[in-house]
Amino acid sequence: MRHSLIRKNLIALSLIAAFGALPVTQASAQDTSAKTEMKSDMHQMERATSDTWITTKVKSEFATTKGVDATDISVTTKHGHVTLSGTVSGDSEITAAKEVAMKVKGVKSVDTSGLKITGHDD
């Protein structure tokens, strides 16, 4: 009789332990999922900040570079890839703009296909 009571208590304790661990496991999985999502959000925010910084840096470099008219060139950046658009005076300005942009830290590539050559009325 005593062994039967001990056995019942052990079974009851086993069930309590097994079912009690279930919410902990679920909470742990949710916590891991939340951490992964937070890391992803942080990475996206860092990338957006980096792209904004690159765009700003390229524009400021254009403003201080002779032969590049910063007011006529738009700069956009996505994942480190810079796209230039707008109007320029000639091929030499396109080349200069591309060279300046490529020197900015974080720039992976520069697309100048959006730059159009127009004549300046002097």
Within-domain flag for 66: yes
Contact 68, 36 (CB under 8 A): no
Of 90, 95, 97, 51, which Cα lies nearest the Cα of 70? 97
pLDDT in tens, 5-25: 677 766 766 656 666 655 555
User: How many domains, the chain?
Assistant: 1
pLDDT in tens, 81-92: 999 999 999 999
What residue numbers bound the domain in which 8 lies?
A: 2-117
Within-domain flag for 122: no
Q: Per-residue pLDDT for the chain (122 aa), expressed as one digit of tens each?
A: 566 667 776 676 665 666 665 555 555 555 666 666 766 666 666 666 699 999 999 999 999 999 999 899 999 999 999 999 999 999 999 999 999 999 999 999 999 999 999 875 54
Within-domain flag for 18: yes
Within-domain flag for 79: yes
> What pLDDT, on a 0 to 100 scale, did the predictor assign at position 64?
94
* Phi, psi angle pair for 116, to nearest 5°: -115, 140
Within-domain flag for 103: yes
pTM: 0.62
